[in-house]
Amino acid sequence: MDERKKRVLITGAGGQLGSELKDIWESDESFDVIFVNRETLPLDELDLLYKRVLSHKADYIIHAAAYTAVDKAESEPQQADLINHLASIEIAKAAKDGNAKLIFISTDYVFQGDSANPLSEDSTTNPINVYGQSKLAAELGIQTILPQAIIIRTSWVYSIYGKNFVKTMIQLMKTKDEIQVVADQEGSPTYALDLAEAIKNIIVSELWVGGIYHYSNEGKTTWYNFAEEIKRLANLNCQINPVSTSEFPTAAKRPAFSLLSKEKIKHTFKLAIPDWQKSLKEMLFKLENHT
Ligand SMILES: NC(=O)c1ccc[n+]([C@@H]2O[C@H](COP(=O)([O-])OP(=O)(O)OC[C@H]3O[C@@H](n4cnc5c(N)ncnc54)[C@H](OP(=O)(O)O)[C@@H]3O)[C@@H](O)[C@H]2O)c1
């Protein structure tokens, strides 16, 4: 029997996560995958969004697009709310009415950062910046409309694609003798390729269990130690000086502690998550050999 292939709609196709999803999904002919970006699905055209999403007749929607300029969001709160919150609500409504399963990507910045232990999915949220507020508002709205949606909070995302901490550090370390990196914010990086594979595994497994999940690489670090590891693995020579958050002011506040506990996602979907150092090594190798 010629069964219709499952259709997957992926937003933010040009972003870090979207590009990794594209890499692992593009050549998979067992799914019909549609990638949309700012041109083909502009999230700020709110009144058209519901119909446009519905028209794709997707079985799964991976909503990876977002307003991710964390510092800029402080001076553009309405725009951040429009893209991250209100647009996600329209997508959730379309997913509900079109019978699509929705995966929404959220952030560790929904947390205040005063915990001493890895944060679980039911830890108290209290975002301290506009970006985090807009993502939390989306989470709450999506859960009301579509309780069966899967919401994955992730942290410190990097990839060979787009702009991120790893690529910025390499650039700085190649051009400067000395740099300063914040040493009092703890968390764990996420290689977007690992997250993309986890998302695909969830869909392929057909073990759909709605709710909030946490995903980052295993282990704990600070931005400073992360930078030291990048320097070591990339064989760079640059003095890295640890500084405190107060010495490195940014427009948006960041949580001092945002280490996510991954027990729920590992247990529910039988996922193995690589350590952050191992994934960083892989990414750097890919970056070196990427044309
Ligand atoms: N980056 C992190 O450290 C981090 C941490 C925690 C959670 N997250 C979440 O993880 C997800 C993936 O993040 P990422 O790092 O892959 O983000 P990213 O690289 O910044 O990509 C975001 C994508 O969203 C698209 N986008 C932005 N505004 C849009 C609009 N108005 N209409 C349509 N598309 C729009 C961007 O399009 P253009 O390419 O055209 O700009 C881009 O492709 C997001 O939900 C983010 O909130 C990220």
Residue nearest to atom 2 of ligand 1 (CA): 157
How remote is the CA of residue 16 from the centroid of ligand 1, in Å?
7
| Residues 132 and 67 sit within 8 Å (Cβ to Cβ) | no
Ligand 1 atom, smallest distance to 13 CA: 43
Burial 188-222 (b: 16+ CB within 10 A, else e): bbbbbbbbbbbbbebbeeeeeeeebbbbbbbeebb
- Residue recorded with tokens 């079985």: 59
Q: How far is CA 81 from CA 56, 77, 110, 145, 184, in A?
A: 25, 6, 14, 18, 29
For this structure, is 131 an active site residue? yes
Report the pLDDT averaged over residues 227-252: 95
Report the pLDDT averaged over residues 198-218: 96
Give residue-wise pLDDT tens across range 17-75.
999 999 999 889 999 999 999 999 999 999 999 999 999 999 999 999 999 999 999 99
Residue type, 120: S
Q: Which one of 3.40.50.720, 3.10.200.10, 3.30.1330.30, 3.30.870.10 gives the CATH number of domain 6-164+189-217+259-274?
A: 3.40.50.720
How remote is the CA of residue 64 from the centroid of ligand 1, in Å?
6
> Is a pLDDT exceeding 70 seen at residue 2?
no
How remote is the CA of residue 90 from the centroid of ligand 1, in Å?
17
> Is a pLDDT exceeding 90 seen at residue 254?
yes
Report the pLDDT averaged over residues 143-163: 98
pLDDT for residue 291 = 60
Q: Domain boundaries in the chain?
A: 6-164+189-217+259-274
Measured between alpha carbons, how far is 140 from 147 in angstroms, rounded to an integer?
Answer: 10
Q: What are phi and psi of 118, to 5 degrees?
A: -50, 140
Of 131, 161, 191, 215, which is the active-site residue? 131
Ligand 1 atom, smallest distance to 153 CA: 7
Q: Is the pTM of this model over 0.85?
A: yes
Report the pLDDT averaged over residues 237-255: 94
Measured between alpha carbons, how far is 1 from 111 in angstroms, rounded to an integer?
Answer: 49
Pocket test for ligand 1, best of 157, 193, 195 (most atoms within 8 A of CB): 157
Report the pLDDT averaged over residues 250-260: 96
pLDDT for residue 150 = 98
pLDDT for residue 27 = 86
% residues pLDDT > 90 (the chain): 94
> Is a pLDDT exceeding 60 seen at residue 212?
yes
pLDDT for residue 258 = 94
> Is a pLDDT exceeding 60 seen at residue 117?
yes
pLDDT for residue 248 = 87
Q: What are phi and psi of 191, to 5 degrees?
A: -80, 120
How remote is the CA of residue 84 from the centroid of ligand 1, in Å?
9
Spell out the SS3 assignment of the chain.
CCCCCEEEEEECCCCHHHHHHHHHHCCCCCEEEEECCCCCCCCCCHHHHHHHHHHCCCCEEEECCCCCCCCHHHCCHHHHHHHHHHHHHHHHHHHHHCCCEEEEEEEHHHCCCCCCCCECCCCCCCCCCHHHHHHHHHHHHHHHHCCCCEEEEECCEECCCCCCHHHHHHHHHHHCCEEEEECCCEECCEEHHHHHHHHHHHHHHCCCCCEEEEECCECCEEHHHHHHHHHHHCCCCCEEEEECHHHCCCCCCCCCECCECCHHHHHHHCCCCCEHHHHHHHHHHHHHCCC
Report the pLDDT averaged over residues 262-282: 98
Q: Enumerate residues lining ligand 1, CB below 6 A.
A: 12, 14-18, 37-38, 41-44, 64-68, 83, 105, 107, 154-157, 162
Ligand 1 atom, smallest distance to 161 CA: 19
Report the pLDDT averaged over residues 86-105: 98
> Is a pLDDT exceeding 90 seen at residue 290?
no
Sign of the CA dihedral running 203, 207, 210, 211 = negative
% residues pLDDT > 70 (the chain): 99
As a whole number of angstroms, the longest Cα–Cα distance in the chain is: 65
- Characterise 162 by phi-psi region: left (phi > 0), alpha (psi -120 to 50), beta (else): left
Give residue-wise pLDDT tens across range 4-14.
899 999 999 99
